[in-house]
Amino acid sequence: MKKILVTRKLLQLNEDRLKSLYDAKLNSNDELYSQKKLIELSEGCDGILSSLTDKLDEDTINQLPKSVKILSNFAVGFGNINIEAAKKRNIIVTNTPEVLTDATAEIGILLILGACRRATEGIEAAKTSNWKWSADYLIGKQLTGTRLGILGMGRIGKKIAKIAKSLGMVIHYHNRSKLSSDKEEGATYHKDLKSLMSVSDVLSVCCPASKETINLINKETLEYLPKGSIVTNVARGDIVDDEALIDALDRRKVYAVGLDVYKGEPNLNPGYLKHKSAFILPHLGSATKETRLAMANLAIDNLEEFFKSGKSKNKVN
């Protein structure tokens, strides 16, 4: 029986399945393992079912025991893993695409609505009974007719576009390549980031984190936006330079932000706390029971496929 290290606590149904298939080392206390402890616990293991919270950098991967042949990441992303280091060690890395599209897109829309309609201020006022209706009270931005710029028109971006279009938003996007007309569904393609951002009343960041996209939304690129735009991020915190975005809020270049992800999670840059127009969530993108079950099951499927065939359709390296 193969031996598997599971770095974070999963839902009971997923853990029961793992125990039926493998000699599984489970994390019953949901402890966030240090890199040193992760290395120690992986001794004798054939694979690791990792999470985005595990920092599997080059040094950590180089110290993993030779028995480890697969890192099955419980996430659609894999920015927490040094892909090249794993490849050099002949360790395959897999992810869990597709199954979290709907749940994450729903949060993407919530971020847009929360930022546009001043939800943070409204919630606080309602909790404290500190409000009185008037014609100009907490006036926000209406979605109907607003131009939505989607940075990264992958599965999640396309789903956000579909929902936003039904709300009356006008869709623009930038991608590595132009989609076919049937997949665009009336959206306008922009060849470069500057062109997209210049027409974005609301910018929705949906692209993967990579060397090319780290701090892509920065002091320079934020200037491309029309004054009073809204920036939302449902992808990865590394894509946005927090200091630059906070500065844009300070200067009112950016009207509001909606963030489900940010650098240094769970530690939020305190600069955001100064702004009532910051609508912030604690990385809830995939946080539905259906999605978390499906993600873990796919991570387990990736393990099964690899141990049976030496391959995986969700291999990323």
Where are the strands (E) in 29-101, listed by range? 47-51, 70-74, 92-94
Q: Tokens 């100009």 correspond to what residue?
A: 136
**Token pair of 18, please?**
């793992």
Examine the residue annotation and report whether 236 is marked as an active-site residue of this protein: yes
Catalytic residue among 117, 236, 292, 305: 236
Q: Alpha helices of 97-227 — where are they, by DSSP H?
A: 101-116, 119-128, 155-166, 181-184, 193-198, 219-222
Catalytic residue among 117, 283, 292, 305: 283
| Chain centroid offset of residue 61 CA | 23
240 touches 233 (CB < 8 A)? yes
CB atoms within 10 A of CB 22: 22
Examine the residue annotation and report whether 252 is marked as an active-site residue of this protein: no
Amino acid at 174: H
Q: How far is CA 270 from CA 243, 277, 281, in A?
A: 10, 14, 14
Q: How far is CA 55 from CA 11, 36, 51, 270, 288, in A?
A: 22, 11, 9, 24, 24
Catalytic residue among 265, 275, 290, 304: 265
Q: How far is CA 103 from CA 27, 108, 110, 138, 273, in A?
A: 25, 9, 11, 28, 26
71 touches 79 (CB < 8 A)? no
295 touches 75 (CB < 8 A)? yes
Residues classed as catalytic: 236, 265, 283
